Amino acid sequence: MSRRGKTQTVPETYSNDWIEKIDGRYAIAKVVNDRLQALESDLGGRAALSYQQRSLCKRAIWMEAIIEQSEAKLARGEEVNQGALTQAVNSLIGLLKTLGLHRVERDVPSLNDYLKQKHEGSV
């Protein structure tokens, strides 16, 4: 734990605020936030997602980080629970399949429509 009571690593157990618990001074915080933003963007943007989709996105990013931590242990020659790793990979696959594996186009107005809306004060 850092001085502010935040962690420097991805927690081993999931909690809804796990991303907020990572100390923003460490690279891991930027990595998980960037990945969450990228996943949400691929699904059409955060504003287009339901609560359920946003919840699954956070879980998918957590699961991906847990898998990568296990893979790093393997690369260092450390022992890893192969059953737990396999289960984590299968869980991630299930989350990603539920969310969708293809990018979703955002609903973006034409430049003329955007300027008209901005002029009318609705943007």
* Within-domain flag for 19: no
Residue-wise over 41-64: b if at least 16 C-beta within 10 A, else e?
A: eebbeeeebeeebeebbbbbbbbb
**Residue 3 domain-assigned?**
no
* 35 domain residue, yes or no: yes
Residue 110 lies in a domain: yes
Domain membership flag for residue 4: no
Q: Per the domain annotation, does 12 fall within a domain?
A: no
Q: Could you report the per-residue pLDDT of 37-94, keeping only the tens digit for each?
A: 999 999 999 999 999 999 999 999 999 999 999 999 999 999 999 999 999 999 999 9
Domain with 60, as residue range(s), is 27-120
What's the predicted TM-score (pTM) here? 0.75
- Residue 123 confidence (pLDDT): 53
